[in-house]
Amino acid sequence: MIKRYINNPLITPEMVRPSMEGYNVLGAFNPGVSLYNGHVILIMRIPENCVEQKGFVSVPYYEFKNGEGFPRIRKIARNDPDLKLKDTRAVIYKNVEYPSTVSHLRIARSEDGISFRIEDKPFIYPCIGYESLGVEDARISKIEDTYYINYTAVSGDGFCTMLAETRDFKEVIRKGIIFPPLNKDVAIFEEKIKEKYIALHRPHNQWFGRPSVWYAESFDLINWGNHKCLIRPGDDDYENVKIGGGCAPIKTKEGWLEIYHSVGDSGKPGTEIYYLNLLLLDLDEPWKVIKRSSSPVMAPEKNYEKRGFVNNVIFTNGMIVKPDGSVDIYYGACDETICLAQTSVNELLNML
């Protein structure tokens, strides 16, 4: 029902120019997706670390001034007694933890949805303290003539969801935090329902439950309320860790159709696997669940989905629905590359 593009991956880290000299691109994945002037727009997550220098450990960071962010490199001598190498993800220096990578968001454009021109400079990058450890995983929702971009901001305060808007994918206006820590995986519906904006979101429940998909409403896209938990992880081995939303749901004759991700494991370290699943919500009362897939509709199968920066990951937060009902699903594989899968609205509905 869902066919992978034969020449996946479409975009690899080697195709992306580093944002500054001394940085190294580790991945291009989890793109927000939209159509603009007949072109497919991807807003990709680009994590970067520092090029190795003999005798030093180097980590990337951003310096903030007057609402702007400037990429920098922090160099620490390997023999410095205050340096501790935690693992590949971070170092500790003078009792402060520094991540080994920082992500920004970069645009790629395509006329055919297959061959992409990747811009040389970041589109959205850390500019304030709440983004100091990176910006990640954009979702795009077109409402009337404005493209709303929500993305995850990471800092020492945890992760939260920010909102920005653009009309031309050149100029971007930041609107601020719309879901405070710890909250991510926000998908904003592309039309109002009963004069209110609607969103799915994912609070990070780490105490008595597991991260689940929630519903929220807003009159201004900034202040959200009337929160309801829509679905929780089941005990099946494909979702027993957590679940989270994808991009804006598709409006169909049967309801709002959402592709969401789930994470499951066998209980052993390093066995987590990311899957894709389906959810159908009521058209007029989208907090009501009509159907939910009983098993994943996509699982890591190809080598590029099973082996990479993070093994066994497929993750989508962007797709294109064409006038004929066909659907192009752009997804990140192994937190490293961008791939394409193709299906149709009818085929997806038949999988529920």
50 and 58 Cβ atoms separated by less than 8 Å = yes
Q: What is the CATH number of the domain that holds 167?
A: 2.115.10.20
Tokens coding 148? 């709303």
What is the 3 state secondary structure string of the chain?
Answer: CCEECCCCCCECHHHCCCCCCCEEECCCEEEEEEEECCEEEEEEEEEEEECCECCEEEEEEEEEECCEEEEEEEEEECCCCCEEEEECCEEEECCEEEECCEEEEEEEEECCCCCCEECCCCCECCCCHHHCCCEEEEEEEEECCEEEEEEEEEECCEEEEEEEEECCCCCCEEEEEEECCCEEEEEECCCCECCEEEEEEEECCCCCCCCCEEEEEECCCCCEEEEEEEECCCCCCCCCCEEECCCCCEEECCEEEEEEEEEECCCCCCCCEEEEEEEEECCCCCCCEEEECCCCCECCCCHHHHCCCCCCCEEEEEEEECCCCEEEEEEEECCCEEEEEEEEHHHHHHCC
For 274-330, the pLDDT digits (tens) are 999 999 999 999 999 999 999 999 999 999 999 999 999 999 999 999 999 999 999
Instruction: Please give the pLDDT value at position 350.
Output: 97
Residue 65 binned pLDDT confidence (cut-offs 50, 70, 90) = very high
The total of structural domains in the chain comes to 1
Instruction: Please give the pLDDT value at position 28.
Output: 98
For 21-36, the pLDDT digits (tens) are 999 999 999 999 999 9
Q: Give me the mean pLDDT over the 213-221 stretch.
A: 98
Instruction: Please give the pLDDT value at position 89.
Output: 77
Q: Give me the mean pLDDT over the 158-183 stretch.
A: 97
Chain position carrying tokens 């007057």: 66
Choose the most confident range, by mean pLDDT, from 40-49, 53-62, 232-241: 40-49
152 and 180 Cβ atoms separated by less than 8 Å = no
Q: Is the pLDDT of residue 8 over 90?
A: yes
End-to-end CA distance of the chain, in Å? 12
Residue 225 binned pLDDT confidence (cut-offs 50, 70, 90) = very high
Q: Give me the mean pLDDT over the 209-215 stretch.
A: 97
For 83-105, the pLDDT digits (tens) are 988 767 788 999 888 889 999 99
Task: Domain of residue 139: give its range.
Answer: 3-350
Question: Smallest Cα–Cα separation from 216: which of 239, 193, 240?
Answer: 193
164 and 141 Cβ atoms separated by less than 8 Å = no
Tokens coding 346? 């009818």
Question: Smallest Cα–Cα separation from 331: which of 32, 17, 26, 27?
Answer: 32
| Rounded-to-integer distance, Cα 295 and Cα 343, Å | 17
99 and 86 Cβ atoms separated by less than 8 Å = no
Give the global pTM: 0.96
Q: Is the pLDDT of residue 233 over 80?
A: yes
Question: Smallest Cα–Cα separation from 240: which of 263, 269, 211?
Answer: 263
